[in-house]
Amino acid sequence: MKRFQPQPGFVVQAYRYALDPNAAQEAALRSHCGAARAAYNWAVGWVTASWWQRKAEVTYGVAEDALTPWRPWSLPSLRKTFNEAKKTDPRFADWWEENSKEAYNTGLANASAAFDNYAKSKNGKRKGARMGAPRFKVKRKARLACRFTTGAIRVDAGGRHVTLPRLGTIRTHEPTGSLLTRVQDGTARILSATVRHERGRWFASFQVEVKRDLIRVSRPEVAVGIDLGVKTLVVMADSTGEIRTVANPRHYDGALRVLRRASRTVSRRQGPDRRTGRKPSKRWEKANAARNKVHHRVANLRTDALHKLTTAVSAEYGTVVVEDLNVVGMLRNRRVARRIADAGFGEIRRQLDYKTRWRHGTRTIVADRWYPSSKTCSGCGAVKAKLPLHVRTYECDVCGLVIDRDDNAALNLVALAAVGTTGTGVAGDRDTPALSKPRGADRKTRATHPRRTTGAGRAGGATLPHQRQEEARDRPQAEALTLW
């Protein structure tokens, strides 16, 4: 699909509203999401059928040029073949007309993207962890979602209803005036809408092209370094020397007692059993809904707190320095995994990234993952070879500085804004140039040589207290795509 390019002065953002559908509308919503899942499974089966056929033919000794050709997985090819098959395929022939075409297009587009990501991952052209071949979506586990790109997609004039293709007019749980006013003024245009069921209710998210005037921050000349932690969620040190801390609200820990009680109640009820085909009892469904309500409340509280924090930071400072944290690796530490997940480190960086772009004259600097911000002295620049996680106070062996570990890391981060680097050099070596490929640098922190200690500058980058960084090895790129 062709990516939408906004006009100059316009940005693409989402407006999300909770829905209050009636029984018939909720059944239609579930039918559309089920149609998207069915189309996705059809596409996966149709493409992989040629893979299995080729694999079997190889065992029969069929020549390479005589093998069954690969079936294409581009969206136009899948859409053309599906439109021909849906009228005769017994899996769709009886009910495909009940849903909008956008429901099936959602599943086909997701399947096409899944095959593209798999092929790029096999060829080494996609960053991140290796991706496996697309698999069928199970009804009980698949997320309910459907995207609409054409048809009647609008926010009604009353400000309490939205209209979607084939679904009709659905009442919203909250007013839609924030989007309706912009649409009526001509400063916003709805591009698409996505309905999704999460946290126990339905939501409609509108992708909108909005004319947004860049707003200046309150202190554009001030930079801030943000160090994330578990005991203290955020330690912010700005270029004026001021240090502020934000306590970790720990929403999940606060609800853990209630959650344990609700989980014990669920365990005493007769729940579902897929091995025997046993259906859950009404009492189990009621208890499970009460337990899910606790989870949903924790998630909503966390989302609200993170949005308030990132909005305040992006509205005040002209330069924000954040860390490139290996959150996946940090979650492998079972001692702090629950609290790290509850803090939402990745969400903080994601929100700061796009919120700072909405402000005039602001920028975000991402510190290198291997920069020892906690081990580097913020006063003289000396680097400790080792600094255990249980040591919460930094004591410099060279200049005698004694400072809180998190405060020291935040001061080192804000110094990157003045240095103009992201910390890709080897820590402790002031004259070491920045490497073009940070992952080619030495993973071990070297202690500063005594003759280089005095006046040593700060290298760039950042690490997080409580973070256990593991050695990353670059995987060799495959020369060609090997599907099987």
- What domains appear along the chain, each with residue ranges and CATH number? 33-122 (no CATH), 219-247+295-472 (3.30.420)
Active site residue 97: no
Cβ contacts of 484 within 8 Å, gap of 6 or more: 51, 54, 55
| Residue among 349, 374, 356 nearest 466 (CA) | 374
Q: Give phi and psi for 90, each to the nearest 5.
A: -65, -20
Helix 282-314 with 256-267: angle, nearest 10 deg: 160
* pLDDT reported for residue 456: 37
Q: Which residues pair with 226 in a beta bridge?
A: 236
* pLDDT reported for residue 385: 87
| Alpha-carbon gap, residue 33 to 351, rounded angstroms | 28
| Alpha-carbon gap, residue 129 to 326, rounded angstroms | 13
Burial class (CB in 10 A: 0-12, 13-18, 19+), 117: middle
b/e map 451-475, b = 16+ CB within 10 Å? eebeebebbbbbbbbbbeeeeeeee
Give the distance, in angstroms, between the CA of residue 463 and the centroid of all CA atoms in the same chain.
Answer: 20
Bigger pLDDT: 379 or 265?
265
Cβ contacts of 321 within 8 Å, gap of 6 or more: 223, 224, 225, 226, 364, 365, 367, 413, 414, 416, 417, 462
**Are the C-beta atoms of residues 385 and 444 closer than 8 Å to each other?**
no
Q: What is the mean pLDDT of residues 253-282?
A: 94
What are 392's two structure tokens?
A: 């919460």
pLDDT band at 400 (very low <50, low <70, confident <90, very high): confident
pLDDT exceeds 90 at position 21: yes
Bigger pLDDT: 455 or 287?
287
* pLDDT reported for residue 482: 41
pLDDT exceeds 60 at position 476: no
| Alpha-carbon gap, residue 14 to 193, rounded angstroms | 9
**Are the C-beta atoms of residues 173 and 18 closer than 8 Å to each other?**
yes
**Are the C-beta atoms of residues 81 and 45 closer than 8 Å to each other?**
no
Count Cα neighbours of 366 within 13 Å in the Cβ-side half-sphere: 12
Helix 282-314 with 345-356: angle, nearest 10 deg: 50
**Are the C-beta atoms of residues 318 and 221 closer than 8 Å to each other?**
yes
Q: How many CB atoms lie within 10 A of CB 165?
A: 18
| Alpha-carbon gap, residue 367 to 225, rounded angstroms | 10
pLDDT band at 421 (very low <50, low <70, confident <90, very high): low
pLDDT exceeds 70 at position 32: yes
Burial class (CB in 10 A: 0-12, 13-18, 19+), 308: exposed
The catalytically annotated residue of 102, 209, 227, 324 is: 227
Cβ contacts of 260 within 8 Å, gap of 6 or more: none
pLDDT digits (tens, 9 = 90+) for 60-95: 998 988 899 999 999 999 999 999 999 888 888 889
Q: What is the mean pLDDT of residues 159-183?
A: 94
Provide the percentage of residues in the chain whose pLDDT is more than 70.
85
Q: Which residue has tokens 């670059």? A: 474
Q: What is the mean pLDDT of residues 157-172?
A: 94
pLDDT exceeds 50 at position 432: no
Q: How many CB atoms lie within 10 A of CB 414?
A: 28
Angle subtended at Cα 319 by Cα 317 and Cα 321, rounded to the nearest 5 degrees? 115
The catalytically annotated residue of 323, 324, 342, 368 is: 323
* pLDDT reported for residue 84: 92
Bigger pLDDT: 453 or 235?
235
Active site residue 227: yes
Q: Give phi and psi for 19, each to the nearest 5.
A: -110, 155
Q: Which residues pair with 394 in a beta bridge?
A: 403
| Residue among 341, 415, 409, 342 nearest 374 (CA) | 409
Q: What is the mean pLDDT of residues 151-158?
A: 92
* pLDDT reported for residue 480: 29
* pLDDT reported for residue 215: 82
How confident is the prediction for the chain on average, in pLDDT? 84
**Are the C-beta atoms of residues 327 and 343 closer than 8 Å to each other?**
no
Q: Which residues pair with 225 in a beta bridge?
A: 237, 321
| Residue among 180, 185, 150, 187 nearest 165 (CA) | 150
The catalytically annotated residue of 324, 342, 406, 407 is: 406
- Give first-to-last CA distance, the chain, whole Å: 27
Active site residue 221: no
* pLDDT reported for residue 436: 34
* Identity of the residue numbered 66: A
* pLDDT reported for residue 298: 96
* pLDDT reported for residue 198: 93
Bigger pLDDT: 34 or 2?
34
**Are the C-beta atoms of residues 344 and 436 closer than 8 Å to each other?**
no
| Alpha-carbon gap, residue 7 to 24, rounded angstroms | 39
Give the best-scoring range by mean pLDDT among 34-38, 83-87, 466-470.
Answer: 34-38
Furthest-apart CA atoms within the chain: distance in Å? 81
Chain length of the chain: 484
